[in-house]
Amino acid sequence: MPDLPPAIPAATLVVFRDRANGPPELLMVERAKAMAFAGGALVFPGGRVDPHDHALAETLDGDPDETAHRIAAVRETIEEAGLAIGLTPSLAPAAITALRQSLHREEPFGAALARVGAGFALDDLTPFARWRPAHANMRIFDTRFYLARLPEDAPAPSVDRTENTRLFWATAAAVLAEADAGRATIIYPTRRNLERLALFGSFAEAVAHARAHPIRVITPVMEKRDGRPHLCIPDDLGYPVTAEPMGSAMRG
């Protein structure tokens, strides 16, 4: 593969809510239409890894780069959805609100955590995938996807109404159906991940599947299939659909 253009490091969290009957629901957020990247699309909570995430990672055990990405996934989920996942001890709703307000004021995450008496439980996040598209003249993100279970005592999530305009719980299959009916927009990586997530009947199944497949950087490539150009990904990483005609693929 030729040299790839520079990419922005990012992290996103796929939050599961298991149900007694039926497949688990996932937390989805809708991006504001004015956003430069994926405006109006349905995505999982997440965003770029910032310098404070890296500085905080250096104070913790483990690989600093991987730790910074997990910290970013935790931070962005607090900012965008008001859910404190990957922290210990469990925080009361008022403490989560205070933490979220501190982050919206762009205070360092470490100082905000100390103020509410919380630390990290980053093992609550399971690596699922890493996507790094390579499109010319577009903003490129190198995004690590993590899986996490909604804590039993978590408050109801709430949208931040800045970068995102709404959030909701839905099964992976339901989100795909909305997109296929033209009632929702999802970019290519989100579609492929939702198709994979739709395979699982529980959070435990998703974690087992994730641990059974290697994490490799996925960069979609154009290939001819039956004489037509398709946007394709590797077929050995657990994805049930690995190619889509270029004409229908919303790239991101």
How far is it, in rounded angstroms, from Cα 132 to Cα 80? 22
pLDDT for res 139: 77
How far is it, in rounded angstroms, from Cα 108 to Cα 111? 6
User: Are the CB atoms for 185 and 179 separated by under 8 Å?
Assistant: yes
The topology (CATH level 3) of 8-220 is: Nucleoside Triphosphate Pyrophosphohydrolase (3.90.79)
- Number of H-type helices and E-type strands within the chain: 7, 13
User: Are the CB atoms for 155 and 107 separated by under 8 Å?
Assistant: no
pLDDT for res 92: 94
Q: Is omega for the bond preceding 189 within 30 degrees of 0, making it cis?
A: no
| Stretch among 22-36, 119-133, 163-177, 193-207 having the lowest mean pLDDT | 22-36
- At residue 252 the predicted structure's pLDDT band, cuts being 50, 70 and 90, is very low
How far is it, in rounded angstroms, from Cα 61 to Cα 38? 34
How far is it, in rounded angstroms, from Cα 127 to Cα 148? 9
Taken in order 220, 223, 228, 233, the sign of the CA dihedral is negative
Give which of 129, 124, 125 is closest to 193, Cα–Cα: 129
Taken in order 44, 11, 4, 242, the sign of the CA dihedral is negative
Give which of 220, 221, 207, 54 is closest to 145, Cα–Cα: 207
How far is it, in rounded angstroms, from Cα 133 to Cα 152? 35
How far is it, in rounded angstroms, from Cα 215 to Cα 192? 15
Per-residue pLDDT reduced to its tens digit, 40-81: 789 999 999 999 999 999 999 999 999 999 999 999 999 999
Per-residue pLDDT reduced to its tens digit, 189-201: 999 999 999 999 9
The kind and range of the H/E element at 232 are strand 228-232
Please tell me the total number of residues recorded for the chain in this structure.
Answer: 252
Q: What residues does each domain of the chain span? A: 8-220
**What is the percentage of the chain residues whose pLDDT exceeds 70?**
92
Which residues make beta-bridge pairs with 88? 119
Per-residue pLDDT reduced to its tens digit, 143-201: 999 999 999 999 999 998 777 789 999 999 999 999 999 999 999 999 999 999 999 99
Mean pLDDT across the stretch 87-94?
95
> Mapping DSSP to helix (H, G, I), strand (E, B) and coil, where does residue 1 land?
coil
C-alpha Rg value of the chain to the nearest Å: 18
